[in-house]
A and B are shown apart, each in its own frame.
Chain A
Amino acid sequence: MGKQLLLENINTPGIDTMAGYRAQGGYSSLQKALKMKPEEIVEEVKKSGLRGRGGAGFPTGMKWSFIAKPEGVPRHLVCNADESEPGTFKDRFLMQHKPHILIEGMIISSFALGCNTSYIYIRGELLYVYHILEKAIAEAYEAGFLGKNIMGSGFDLDLYVQPGGGAYICGEETALIESLEGKRGNPRIKPPFPAVAGVWGRPTVVNNVETISATVPIINMGGDEYAKIGVGKSTGTKLISACGHINKPGVYEIEMGVPVEEFIYSEQYCGGIRNGKKLKAVVAGGSSVPILPADLILKTAKGEPRLMTYESLSDGGFQTGTMLGSGGFIVMDETTSVVKNLWNFTRFYHHESCGQCSPCREGTGWMEKVLHRIVEGHGKQTDVDLLWDIQSKIDGKTICPLGDAASWPVASAIRHFRAEFEEYIKNPQNIKDEKHYYNLRNQKAPVA
């Protein structure tokens, strides 16, 4: 097991309370940060090479330096805790067991950005986590880490937790802002970007839970030291929520650069495929990222071993690669039907599309209906091409990335497992035989 920065001491009883967290050295990072200048903290984060952990992997230090700083206009930091991607459950785990690391991170980040009011926007379904955070915030107020003149530094911060109504789309930063303002959670059209006009038209930074929490170890150990962990531009540690047909599903903190093969098969991490079955496919970063068959997830198209980094997982583009995404690592064994799994994903996107722009609103529903037909055994010969065409007409044509997220799984499943779709259509009587599907992937070179 590599360095544990976020999940350190997570099993210690009482770590979710202020006393328990401080007994393990909690809030020492904040004390250090408040003695620094805000610009120095931004500089440390830049040096650390920390990249957004929500999925896009945008350098956090750079995002922070983009925030507009007009005179007399308050700025806001919003923590995106609306984690609802199928397969991703890392933020929930962290907030549930170690709420104070997020709060400490929020205070440090708010101080760095000069925000006096910050928000944690939490997914509506995670109401019990909301109560945990509320309790932790009350403790932080009591201990003088929140409120007026924090620890004599002259810095004021009020922190609020806002539960959402339970919509996936509110994880998109501008939809999140709309929802936070009390409106319907429709993504805004960009520009203007939140860094210029976000919450109530004020400059806003929206960061993922893990990103904000990662500022705590960065300040503690220094940006340079943090940057030493990992490979190349993927620095530090990453929480991966592994699920599916593995022996040990759960949340793991890995140092960037662990080989995928080691992650799946090593006893430290997933512990291999359940029941001694063979690996069929992996969705490496939450349901939105392209699915990859076993050979391509373990080794890149060039034959190099694939590592758990932003660069290595996306090696080969969408033809033969995928993305690190939000770290929802879904492993499928040989008995899994990629078509059924895809139908499930597409059903999710159909249900969660906000209905604002037409390609996503109509296209997600159409894809789901076609896939449902195939899964039920009533597929038509033209359906695979039709699906390909629909996804290509959604991809890139929408306001927010939900349209892309809905089209990528479809595109990649067809790209790598076209034979399985065709088998479903040609021989629907075989659908129930689950062993039938192994090795039904395209033998030909992947298509564009």
Chain B
Amino acid sequence: MPKVTIDGKEIEVPKGTTILQAARMLGPDVAPPAMCYYSKLSKSGGYCRTCIVRVTKMNSQNPNPMPKPVASCRTEVMDGMEVVNYTSEQVLTDRKGVVEFLLINHPLDCPVCDQAGECHLQDLGYENGSEKTRYDFERRTYDMIDIGKNIKLHMNRCILCYRCVNTCEQLTDGRVHGVLNRGDVAEISTFIEKAIDNEFSGNVIDVCPVGALTDRTFRFKSRVWFTKPVDAHRDCKKCSGKVRLWFKGAEVLRVTARKDQWGEVEDWICNECRFDKKNVSDWELEGPSRISHHSVISQGHYELAKLKLDTGRQLKNLKEGKQKSTAKK
């Protein structure tokens, strides 16, 4: 089994493991952020470039570094490989650049966005982004559209992670949506005169890292941090029936799938569970959910909100340790 060292921590992993998976095994202090990679979907990842790391030693036979930063979600580990992530100033700077790119056309309308509070882009921007944008042009805009009865597509917020495309391709039959156009005007859309209408389509809402795909039955009902997550299950013929209910008072405002430490869905749920079963009597409650990743949802309620790390401070420390480069670029 290949041994890999990430940020000075060594781990032995099965063959075929990617750097990102190995880093996740080591824990959240080492794991790079991932916006497009989704462990439950095959062929996902490689697009957003937020998980880039540098390989300082290829393998035990070849001690040379890789010339370019690599997408850790799509690079398999080799025996003796050495990877730097949070310990490298270069990687942090590169990632900061990627976050800036992701945000230049993002509307930053968090105050009116339903995803705020559980948005991966918010977390990413908070941990790795700059305080100010240098982009002073008009942002690209699209009209909001309804794709299907229960799903709203707000393309302005999309970061084109392709997760929803992969979900529909791999989870349901008869894919009806994809990416139109190219470049920075590429957009997620349904094929002409089609709606996303199948039993598992609601899962695209859960996989969307930003607020581009939102639940029309929950839109503008409440901020997510005012709702309390409770795990529940029911006997469902179509799916596992294991869900998370979001209560405000005694009312169920929203039903989602359960998510793991990395914000990824544990079991896909069907649309009936998600959109139609909003009475407490439909469910058998299991108890409050553990929100294991840091989130405003867990703030002071379930688990102490723990920042994974403060990249800004870390970058500063790294820079102070080294001679500050004065060469004008």
Residues of A within 8 A of B (CB): 167, 169, 184, 189, 350-359, 361-366, 369, 385-386, 388-389, 392-393, 396-399, 447-448
Contact = CB atoms under 8 A, between A and B. Distances in A.
Interface residues of B, number: 37
Nearest to A356: B47
A81 B181 CA distance: 23
Contact of B74 (A189, A358, A363, A396): A189
Given A396-B68, A399-B46, A352 B135 contact: no
Given A396-B69, A397-B97, A447-B329, A355 B46 contact: no
A364 B183 contact: yes
A365 B179 CA distance: 18
A375 to B, nearest CB: 14
Interface stretch (B99-107, B233-241, B310-318): B99-107
A361 B161 CA distance: 12
Contacts of A397: 49, 52, 68-69, 94, 97-98
B2 interface: no
Contacts of B301: none
A238 B283 CA distance: 73
B49 A357 contact: yes
A350 B184 contact: yes
Given A357-B48, A358-B47, A393 B328 contact: no
A351 B184 CA distance: 8
A353 B135 contact: no
Given A355-B160, A359-B97, A396-B68, 7 more contacts: A351-B183, A358-B48, A362-B104, A365-B183, A369-B137, A397-B69, A399-B47
A362 B105 CA distance: 8
A358 B183 contact: no
A389 B100 CA distance: 11
A385 B328 CA distance: 9
B159 interface: yes
22 contacts: A184-B178, A189-B45, A350-B184, A353-B183, A354-B186, A355-B160, A355-B183, A355-B184, A355-B186, A361-B101, A362-B104, A362-B105, A363-B101, A366-B101, A366-B137, A369-B137, A385-B329, A393-B94, A397-B97, A397-B98, A399-B46, A399-B71
Interface of B: 45-50, 52, 67-69, 71, 74, 94, 97-98, 100-102, 104-105, 134-135, 137, 159-160, 162, 178-179, 181-186, 327-329
Contact of B182 (A355, A358, A363): A355
B47 A357 contact: yes
Contact of B328 (A352, A366, A447): A447
A189 B46 contact: yes
Contact of A361 (B69, B183, B328): B183
A238 to B, nearest CB: 26
A104 to B, nearest CB: 35
Q: Is the interface of A mostly helix, strand, loop or mixed?
A: helix
Contacts of A352: 182-183
Nearest to A185: B182
A393 B97 contact: yes
Most buried by B among A189, A385, A398, A399: A189
Contacts of B48: 357-358
B108 to A, nearest CB: 14
B94 A353 contact: no
A369 to B, nearest CB: 5
B169 to A, nearest CB: 12
Nearest to B136: A380
Contacts of A385: 329
A358 B160 contact: yes
A359 B182 contact: no
Contacts of B105: 362
A446 to B, nearest CB: 12
Contacts of B134: 386
A434 B184 CA distance: 33
A190 to B, nearest CB: 9
A353 B182 contact: yes
Nearest to A169: B182
Given A386-B134, A397-B52, A354 B97 contact: no
Contact of B98 (A189, A353, A393): A393
B145 to A, nearest CB: 19
Contacts of B102: 358, 362
A392 B90 CA distance: 12
A292 B159 CA distance: 36
